[in-house]
Structure 1
Amino acid sequence: MDFERADALNQAIRHLTLRHRARAAALLAPLDLHPGQEVLLLELARTGPMIQAKLSEALGCEPPSVTLMARKLEAAGHIRRKPAPSDRRASVVELTDSGTALAGRIKQLWSTLAEETVTGLPAETVAALPGILMTIADNLDTRRPHQHSQHPPA
């Protein structure tokens, strides 16, 4: 790919991620949440209680980042952490009633954000976007060796 096309693509992705994160932050601020915390709450709502190390893996975050988020969410009363029965050094993280209610509000905000994000795009494009974006994310996954395979166009 020549530089002009590469630059246009990289700039578009950068611009999209910055704007999406800023809009997410604006929607989350009235809930007293910061970007990233909502994903932790949604993961627990989806899976139920989880060992903190597994939660870190599921979120694709470093364990210290999850620990910090968990502390803040626990202080706000949205989650609780308790020692894992199988390993007292590990913590099980679970939603409180407050966290469950908050996750419901986050789901509504996430729907709003998604609708705003794809306004004006054809339904076929919207349907294809999750697969395309996940392929792009997989291509950039630093946790696996980079493969020089060609992905078929979507």
Structure 2
Amino acid sequence: MRVTNLSRRPVDFEQADAINQAIRLLSLRHRARAAALLAPLGLHTGQEALLLELDRSGPMIQAQLSGALGCEPPSVTLMTRKLEASGHIRRSPAPTDKRASVVELTDSGRALAKEVKQLWRELAEETVAGLPQRTVAELPGLLTTLTGNVDNRRR
């Protein structure tokens, strides 16, 4: 199914290619840079998002964590196992459902989340260097719209 916005002209191939290539390259390079920044902390990409989500939202069931992170439950299970083994999170049976696990940060995890926040600020500053402040302010909304557009097309 092809979706077009009737309020503007369709995108020609050259523009489409430029947009798609730019997004693809940004994604690859941003992920690689994030991996390089996280490695000294003993983290792999994805684990920082889990730590930051728990820091932001507090303890939650793994299924909720999976939804919040937008990733599959087996990925969250693997990340939680590794972070638990390193002492950064704790898992315990949910009080209402013994099959579910509640995940929460340990003191070590809270300290690590604080370090991740600093790295995230540095990565964001590197990423938007040279852009006007107004563009930087608009960027989260623009990227959220792009993500929503892609998500809506998959349904």
Q: Is the structural similarity TM-score above 0.5?
A: yes
Structure 1 counterpart of 2:4: none
Identity %: 76
Query: How far did residue 4 of structure 1 move?
Result: 0.8
Structure 1 counterpart of 2:100: 90
* Aligned mates of 2:96, 2:105 — CA distance in 1: 20
Map residues 4-153 of structure 1 onto 2, 5 A cutoff: 4-141=14-151, 145=155
What 5-or-longer segments of structure 2 have no aligned partner?
A: 1-10
* Aligned mates of 2:126, 2:20 — CA distance in 1: 22
TM-score scaled to structure 2, two decimals?
A: 0.91
Number of equivalenced pairs: 145
**One-letter amino acid of the structure 1 residue matched with residue 124 of structure 2:** A
Structure 1 counterpart of 2:6: none
**One-letter amino acid of the structure 1 residue matched with residue 131 of structure 2:** L
**One-letter amino acid of the structure 2 residue matched with residue 127 of structure 1:** A
TM-score scaled to structure 1, two decimals?
A: 0.92
RMSD: 1.1
List structure 1 runs of 4+ shifted beyond 6 angstroms. Answer: none
- Helix, strand or coil: the match of 2:102? strand
* Aligned mates of 2:125, 2:23 — CA distance in 1: 19
What 5-or-longer segments of structure 1 have no aligned partner?
A: 146-154
- Helix, strand or coil: the match of 1:141? helix
